[in-house]
Amino acid sequence: MTGTTEESTGEVTSRPRKASWRYIGPGIVVAATGVGAGDLVATLIAGSKFGYTLLWAAVIGCLVKISLAEAAGRWHLATGRTLFDGWRSLGSWTTVYFVIYVVVWGFVYGAAAMSSSALPLDALFPGTMDLKWWAVLCGLVGLVFVWFNRYAVFEKVMTVLVGVMFVITVYLAVRVTPNLGDAFAGLAPVLPDGSLIYTLGLIGGVGGTITLAAYGYWVNAKGWTDTGWMKVMRLDNRVAYLTTGIFVVAMLFVGAELLHSSGVALAKGDKGLLDLGDVLADRYGTVTAKLFLVGFFATSFTSLIGVWHGVSLMFADFVSNYRKRGEATTGTEVASGSREKSLPFRAYLLWLTFPPMALLFLDQPFGLVIVYGVIGAFFMPFLALTLVWLLNSSRTPAEWRNGILSNVMLAGAGLLFVVLCVQQVRDLPW
C-alpha cells in the first residue's frame, strides 16, 4: 500500500487517514451482531422492574464495549497480526480453550440463533409452517448468504438491517412517550434493592459476546491493516456503540413506560419479545406490533449472519495459525478475502448450521447446556484480561500500548465479567 513502511521493530506504519463517516462499517457489524434478542429482553425486563433507574448502567455498558472493541482493533492495526496470533503467543492454553469454546458454543448457539430468528417470522406469518422449519430456513438462508458473499456485501446488508432495527426501536421509544425528567435522573448511579444482577447484566451483557473479538478481523476484512487506519477505526467503533447505546436506551424506555407502569411481566428468553408484541398490539394497534416484529427479526438475524461470518473467520485464522506452526498470521491475509473462501471457514459455517438443527427437533441435552453455559461465561473475562496482557507487553509497539484510561476500562471490564461469570455459573441448573 502506498505510503506504508515497516520499521526494524516490526511495527507497521503508514500515512494516517483522516477519520471520515464514509469509512464506517466494521463497528456497525460488531455492534449489530453482539445485540441479540436475549439482550433486548434483559433490557426490557430491567426497565419493567426498575423504570429509568438503571439507565446509567446501560450507558456504562456501551463505554465498556467501546474500550474492548477498540483494544481488539488496535491490536490488529498496531501489530499487523491477528488476535488469535496474539493469544497463541500467551501459551498453548489459549488454543485449547478457543477450540473447546468454538466447538461447543457454536453447536448450541447455532440452534439458539435459528430459533430466535424464527420466532418473529412465525408471529408475522402465523400458520404458514412450523416454528422449527422457520428456524431451519433461517439457518439455510444465513449459510447461503455468507457462503457466497464476501465482506463488502455482508457489511452492506448488516448496515441496512441495523437501520431497520434503529428506526423501529427509536419509533417505539417515542411512541410510548418517555418521561425525560425521570430518564435524566436515571443517569445518576443508584442501586435499588434487588437490582445488582440486573445492573451487572446491563453493563456486561448487551453486545458482549465472542463477536467483540471478531471486530479486529472485520477491521482487516474492510482493508484496514496498519496504523494509518487507527483514527478511522476509533471513529467507526465509537459511532457503532453510540448507535447501540441509543438502541438500548430506547428499549429501556419501552420497558419503563409500557411495562413498568402497567406491571406487565415478560417471559424470560426470546419469547418475552412476543409478549411485548402482544402488549403493543393491545395498546397501539396491529401495525405497531407488526413493525416491532420486523425489528425483532432484524435484531435476531443480524446476530445470526454476524456470527456465521465473524466466528467462521476467527476459526479459519485458528486453522491457518496452527498449520504455520509459529509463523505469524497477519491482517493482510484476512484483508485479501482468501479466508472467506477457505475450507476451514466453510467447514465452520456448516458446523454452525447443520448439527444444531438436531437440537431444534430434540430437547437440548442437559449436560451440553451446562457445558455451553460454563464455557460461554468464561469467554468475556478471557477476552478482557488477555487484551490487557497483550497491549501492555512488548508484543505491542510502544506507541500503541495501553494508557491509563484503557487499562482502567479493560481491567474493570475483566473484573465485571468475572463477577458475571461466577453468577452465571451459579445460576446454571446443576
The arithmetic mean of pLDDT across residues 158-181, rounded, is 90
pLDDT reading at 109 higher than 80: yes
pLDDT reading at 23 higher than 90: no
Q: What CA–CA distance (Å, rounded) separates 376 from 426?
A: 13
Q: How confident is the model at residue 261 (pLDDT cuts 50, 70, 90)?
A: low
Report which of residues 72 and 24 the model is more confident about.
72
The arithmetic mean of pLDDT across residues 378-405, rounded, is 93
For the ranges 7-11, 277-281, 306-310, 313-317, the lowest mean pLDDT is seen at 7-11
Q: What amino acid is encoded at 268 in this protein?
A: K
Backbone angles phi, psi at 223, to 5 degrees: 105, 5
Cell readout for 178 is: 418517555
Contact 331, 77 (CB under 8 A): yes
pLDDT reading at 406 higher than 70: yes
The arithmetic mean of pLDDT across residues 198-206, rounded, is 71
| Cβ count near 397 (within 10 Å) | 17
Q: How confident is the model at residue 268 (pLDDT cuts 50, 70, 90)?
A: low
Q: Is 5 helix (H, G, I), strand (E, B) or coil?
A: strand
Q: How confident is the model at residue 340 (pLDDT cuts 50, 70, 90)?
A: very high
Backbone angles phi, psi at 234, to 5 degrees: -70, -40
Q: How confident is the model at residue 365 (pLDDT cuts 50, 70, 90)?
A: low
- Residue 410's pLDDT is what? 92
Average pLDDT, the chain: 85
Residue 160: enclosing H or E segment and its boundaries? Answer: helix 151-175
Residue 388: enclosing H or E segment and its boundaries? Answer: helix 366-390
Q: How confident is the model at residue 24 (pLDDT cuts 50, 70, 90)?
A: confident
Question: 208-260 pLDDT, tens per residue?
Answer: 578 889 999 999 999 999 999 999 999 999 988 888 888 888 888 888 888 77
The arithmetic mean of pLDDT across residues 48-62, rounded, is 86
Residue 122: enclosing H or E segment and its boundaries? Answer: helix 92-124
- Residue 237's pLDDT is what? 92
Contact 11, 225 (CB under 8 A): no
Q: Is 150 helix (H, G, I), strand (E, B) or coil?
A: coil
186-194 contacts: CB < 8 A, separation 24 or more?
Answer: 186/51, 186/52, 186/53, 186/54, 186/55, 186/56, 187/55, 187/56, 187/59, 188/56, 189/56, 189/57, 190/53, 190/56, 192/50, 192/53
Q: How confident is the model at residue 204 (pLDDT cuts 50, 70, 90)?
A: low
pLDDT reading at 1 higher than 50: no
Q: How confident is the model at residue 372 (pLDDT cuts 50, 70, 90)?
A: low
- Residue 227's pLDDT is what? 94
Q: Is 195 exposed, middle or buried (0-12, 13-18, 19+ CB in 10 A)?
A: middle
The arithmetic mean of pLDDT across residues 53-78, rounded, is 90
- Residue 4's pLDDT is what? 45
For the ranges 115-124, 163-172, 213-222, 415-424, the lowest mean pLDDT is seen at 415-424
The arithmetic mean of pLDDT across residues 43-54, rounded, is 85
The model carries a pTM of: 0.89
Report which of residues 425 and 166 the model is more confident about.
166
Question: 271-304 pLDDT, tens per residue?
Answer: 777 788 888 888 889 999 999 999 989 999 999 9
For the ranges 24-28, 244-248, 382-386, 402-406, the lowest mean pLDDT is seen at 244-248
Backbone angles phi, psi at 12, to 5 degrees: -90, 125
- Residue 178's pLDDT is what? 82
- Residue 316's pLDDT is what? 95
The arithmetic mean of pLDDT across residues 356-378, rounded, is 68
The arithmetic mean of pLDDT across residues 95-111, rounded, is 88
- Residue 8's pLDDT is what? 33
Q: Give whichever of 68-77, 121-130, 234-243 has the largest mean pLDDT.
A: 68-77
pLDDT reading at 147 higher than 90: yes
| Cβ count near 109 (within 10 Å) | 22
pLDDT reading at 207 higher than 80: no
